[in-house]
A and B are shown apart, each in its own frame.
Chain A
């Protein structure tokens, strides 16, 4: 009983440790991993290498797939660029399996001591150490868990158990066990580490372990698609790439093992020889071989991979709505051009704002699902612009350009908040089975103001002046409407509560429109003389407006 408890405790520590380690590694290395992945577009091998490094740094092929998916949506990478990265992410996770194959008992004890002292001396509160202390804690728990799992079965009559397992596990059962274990843990490395630990305790032999690890490899690919849930388009395409890497790896390695058998060689003995007689080292090599055998062909034939993935999950409206049209990585080298492109991208976001609101006057209007996709897409572009400007600032822009970059960053922040406010307002309006007249008036009024703001991006300073007047303070009016609403027959009902919420969101939206219009009137790109020439008058107005407000 104590043995089962010790193994279960080890598994618990392993799961928690992996989770903590992966989360903190992503926090600590996320930005660097993101920058690394952006450079991976040169060739499939560059992508594979970057993906491998990212997989090793995050110890999660899913994390690499998610980051790649976001970069594809943000227009930084194409799906074709992301294929070798996702494939390489799997190879990188093999690092932990090799670590598990080492006898690390002494290392674990020192690591636990180090982490404990670190927390005692509050190193985890220092920004420079915070995430790395988390990584160390996660690693300590992983290794401690593995040690428990290894130590537990030693008290058993291993030879008897091994004999039972030897007779009891057929190749198909072993494959299925691995597949289920990977599907449950959503990882191929976790069951493999577990098998390594059981092999070190001599509970499992290398022949059974090979089959279990191959099952786990395929299982983790399948679990990636199963856990993708409602995910569609590009995001789901990368999950299918994940499955292809795993399936191709299993097929190729399986074929090699079978062919070796047919040719009279003993595949298990060969593998054991390659591991220098150490079963755990042999299994780690097999795990690495499975990842490489899947990753390389999938990356080299990325045109075919892309076609299969696109066939299984065609791009969605959200995918196309998420792609920036102006900003791109290479523009970061020229500050004036980069700022100009960022400004144009923001103008495009402002022009897209009306699509986030319902047109209550039109019968054939776009539906809530389409608007939700457009909102998510616009949101992704907002994030991409913010990231683009942050990267530009991090490169050390000249003082004049810095001021412009910060101005644009503030503007995009306002526009993003406006996007979210319009989305929330739309959800409230569309939540009514029968929209009351006040709801209609609020919605059509807000739509008029937003359409005027979108039009003003192509107009002159007078158009923006008009928007600033139109979006003036109306708190007295809205307070009066709220009082009337409270005293009306609707009174305390759900409809009244939703209408009150709609008035608040409307007021917030109008205030953000005014803020956006004031910011749009200010000079945007001082580093670019063409844009700047038209901005002098606007600057004076901005200053005057700042005094008025």
Chain B
């Protein structure tokens, strides 16, 4: 898994590539939480390079999403591949996050 971080105005963009599986879930969650705790703007997670997501990867997003919601900040997901979009739809995550 590879994560690139960009600052676009007040918003942080994380470009993620690779597999969001159990071994990668912790580092992914740590990257998300670092943005949550060290910045105060929105967070955009670009998942264009993600070709596999498991329950561990989804939970990492859920933890960050809950923290952002508590802080009344916006977490957006973008560029999901069709098979990843299906996981988000089936799991109900599409109703929790804004997906562009």
Contacts and interface: CB of A to CB of B under 8 A. Distances in A.
- Asked whether A and B interact, the reply is yes
A137 B83 CA distance: 64
A452 B87 contact: no
A18 to B, nearest CB: 53
B28 to A, nearest CB: 13
B58 interface: yes
A390 interface: no
A114 interface: no
Given A361-B22, A362-B22, A437-B83, A466 B66 contact: yes
A441 interface: yes
B96 A448 contact: no
B56 interface: yes
B95 A447 contact: no
Given A360-B54, A361-B56, A444-B55, A471 B87 contact: no
Given A361-B21, A444-B58, A448-B59, A477 B90 contact: yes
Interface residues of B, number: 21
Nearest to B54: A361
Nearest to A359: B55
Given A362-B22, A448-B62, A441 B90 contact: yes
Interface in A414-457: 437-438, 441-442, 444-445, 447-449, 451-452
From B21, B87, B91, B92, residue with most partner A Cβ within 10 Å: B92
Please indicate which of the listed interface residues B53, B90, B93 has the most CB atoms of chain A within 10 Å of its own CB.
B90
B34 interface: no
A65 B22 CA distance: 45
B89 interface: yes
Interface of A is mostly: helix
Contacts of A466: 62, 66, 96
A477 to B, nearest CB: 6
Nearest to A455: B59
B98 interface: no
A472 interface: yes
Contacts of B70: 462
Nearest to A437: B83
B57 to A, nearest CB: 9
14 contacts: A361-B21, A361-B55, A362-B22, A441-B90, A444-B91, A448-B55, A449-B92, A451-B55, A462-B66, A466-B66, A470-B92, A470-B95, A474-B92, A510-B92
* 8 closest Cβ pairs, A-B complex: A445-B91, A361-B54, A447-B55, A470-B92, A445-B90, A448-B55, A448-B58, A444-B55
Interface of A: 359-362, 437-438, 441-442, 444-445, 447-449, 451-452, 462-463, 466, 469-472, 474, 477, 481, 506, 510
Given A448-B91, A449-B92, A470-B92, 4 more contacts: A361-B54, A441-B86, A441-B90, A444-B87
